[in-house]
Amino acid sequence: MNPIARRYAGRNVPRYTSYPTAADFSTAVGPSDHETWLATLDGRQSISVYLHVPYCREICLYCGCNTKMAVRDQVVSSYRRSLEAEIGLVANLIEDVPDIARLHWGGGTPSILGLDGLTSVLSVLGRHFPLDSACEHAIELDPRYVTAELADGLAALRVTRASLGVQDVNPLVQAAIGRIQPLSTVELAARRLRAAGIENLNFDLIYGLPRQTRESVRETSALVGAMEPDRIACFGYAHLPQMKANQRRIDEAMLPSLDERIEQAELISEELVRRGYVRVGIDHFAKPNDGLALAAASGKLHRNFQGYTEDDEKVLLGLGASSISTFTQGFVQNISDVPRYIRAIEAGTLATARGCRIEGEDRRQGLIIERLMCDFAVDLAAIAPGVDFAGELSTLAPMISDGLVEINGTKLLVTQAGRPVVRIVAAAFDRYRRPQSAQFSRAV
């Protein structure tokens, strides 16, 4: 990283998978807004659907997801029934039901539902929503639980893409984060999925974990690259023990320093690019012919709560506890606490907890932030003709002087040196921004 950019890398800023960010949602937006927005959906426009399953068999120490450990199968079955009930409840509020063009399972570990449970949810979904014949159907998986039976069953359910949580293949790191997962386990999971016909694979990596070193992340990158997944997402570990109790069990003395985190991110990028991957945005890599890489090259890359995507659907319905839905009018998020979520659904009401309207200035600022995060450049006049951005540009003045940002007329460009800290550039256009807030992760 450029030594000047390094000075900015320790700042805490949002990841900007949405704008306004989830941290800025409030109870001022609730179930009545959610109902209204559902009722006004245009059936001629296809949508994306996200299904959240907030359970794992065990909780990894590094995990920041909204998930909990499932000790009893009955708990998982009860949640599944509520998820199915929510599908029907939401569908009945839509006057003109649209087709589903993209379907994504996240968690947690969605496969904890079992093939029968997954089949049941999809059956309910299919009764209420038409699935496009070319629907991309993706699921997040824990490699340790990918059996040949599961792989074949997912293929029979028309799953087209699987995302495997790899994180790191070094045994010392795995012990430090409470996730023992030998490389052979990941290799076997990938072989089983490909043998079943699910050839589109994503791998997730994390840097900044306890006991990680330059050598270990380089080795992990090389070994993962050798397995040739279509996409690799590489995230910086966000250590937020004040928000995640499981992270309190991590020995902070074993965490890499900021300089080490920066070096680890650079080494991963160097190794993956050397192996032929194209860098997409700030933390994704893809094969040159993959849809994500093609979208980035053509200026059609987008960013939503799943990260970078070529998904251009305007509406994303989030179903399940803590799920976030995106409408043209704004965002709504479900109750995160599972028992409260279940009680709301059993009462026949939406489980909406909070949200945010997208109006005027927010809509404009959101478009600017998305283009910066996706393209590292934006034409301010093209998005907001006649609007004065003197205040935002004044905030960016130090980064302009440092050569991290360039201004050419109404066009703003994040230079190669500034790309690792583009989130800080984006934050200049965020009117909700709270500098140095500990609830956000470091820029790198």
Could you list the pLDDT tens digit for every one of the 444 residues in the chain? 778 888 888 888 899 999 999 999 999 999 999 999 999 999 999 999 999 999 999 999 899 888 889 878 999 999 999 999 999 999 999 999 999 999 999 999 999 999 999 999 999 999 999 998 899 999 999 999 999 999 999 999 999 999 999 999 999 999 999 999 999 999 999 999 999 999 999 999 999 999 999 999 999 999 999 999 999 999 999 998 998 999 999 999 999 999 999 999 999 999 999 999 999 999 999 999 999 999 999 999 999 988 899 998 999 999 999 999 999 999 999 999 999 999 999 999 999 999 999 998 999 999 999 999 999 999 999 999 999 999 999 999 999 999 999 999 999 999 999 999 999 999 999 999 844 444 556 656
CA atoms within 13 A on the CB side of 57: 10
- Outline where 246-337 has alpha helix (H): 258-274, 291-297
Longest CA–CA span in the chain (Å) reads 61
Distance CA 338, CA 148 (A): 31
Residue 28 near residue 81 (C-beta atoms within 8 A):
no
Q: Does the bond joining 108 to the residue before it have cis omega, within 30 degrees of 0? A: yes
Helix/strand/coil percentages in the chain, nearest 5: 40, 20, 40
H or E stretch covering 286: strand 284-286
- Using the 8-state DSSP alphabet, how is residue 277 labeled? P
Amino acid at 419: R
- Using the 8-state DSSP alphabet, how is residue 328 labeled? S
Q: Which two tokens stand for residue 438?
A: 């500990």
Amino acid at 317: L
Mind listing the domains of the chain with CATH numbers? 21-357 (3.80.30.20), 361-427 (1.10.10.920)
Query: For the whole model, what pTM was predicted?
Result: 0.93
Q: Look up tokens 């890499």; give the residue.
A: 256
Single out the residue of 167, 169, 163 nearest to residue 183, CA to CA. 169
| Full strand arrangement of the beta sheet holding 411-414 | 377-379, 411-414, 405-408
Q: Which two tokens stand for residue 74?
A: 């009955």
Distance CA 416, CA 335 (A): 40
Q: Which two tokens stand for residue 117?
A: 């449970």
